[in-house]
Amino acid sequence: MENLKRALRRPLQPLVRGLDALGCRPDYLTLAGVLAALLSGIALASGNRTLGVFWLLVSLLCDLLDGDLARRSGSGQSRFGAFLDSTADRISETFFLGGLLIGRYELLSLTWGWILLWVLALSGGYMVSYARARAEGLGLACSVGWGDRASRMLVLILLLIFGYRASGWFLLAMALLAWFTVYQRVSLVWRETRTPPASAAASPGATAGTGEGGEAV
């Protein structure tokens, strides 16, 4: 998926340079992506899949461009920019899947099985992001996993192309990708935290002569 992202970014570089020349800030693109996601959700809720896909692609385009624009400007992505970008991604996913839920309800009946898959797909996306954020809060890199946002959005696009009647199978794929990625990230953190840092490992003689509470005796 990273190779695909790089391939998509190459033809967009003239656009990035143009936005930089106009003085566009990366945060503006991030917020524009959220607005496009909202419009996509409204279109999906009204049953207009074509318009929903269009605004979804616009939102994903903004998400691709904002990081490149930050690097192009020379300042890199600020801490607030990184926070805003991650938060915007979760809001956008909520708009996409929320619109899908309403659209399905308006056009077809909802079943408990479909609702369960929807909940698992939405919550799985949140947990993928949360697992990475908590790991990085512990100082651990944790970007492993098959079900990153780009993969899930690709499945969502396929869902919208094939239509609401086939949506259950694609929600199942999104849920499996997301929750398997959560498992991968939890497993990584578990392995990393079971191995003590080299600086914390003391020789047997270094701990001799200490009593309860670590006080020297």
Annotated catalytic residues are 89
Q: How many other C-beta atoms can be found within 10 angstroms of the C-beta atom of residue 12?
A: 14
CB of 185 within 8 A of CB of 132?
Answer: yes
Question: What's the CA angle centered on 162, arms 156 and 164, to 5 degrees?
Answer: 80
Give strand pairing partners of 210.
216
DSSP result, 50-100: HHHHHHHHHHHHHHHHHHHHHHHTTS---HHHHHHHHHHHHHHHHHHHHHH
Tokens of 76: 């890199």
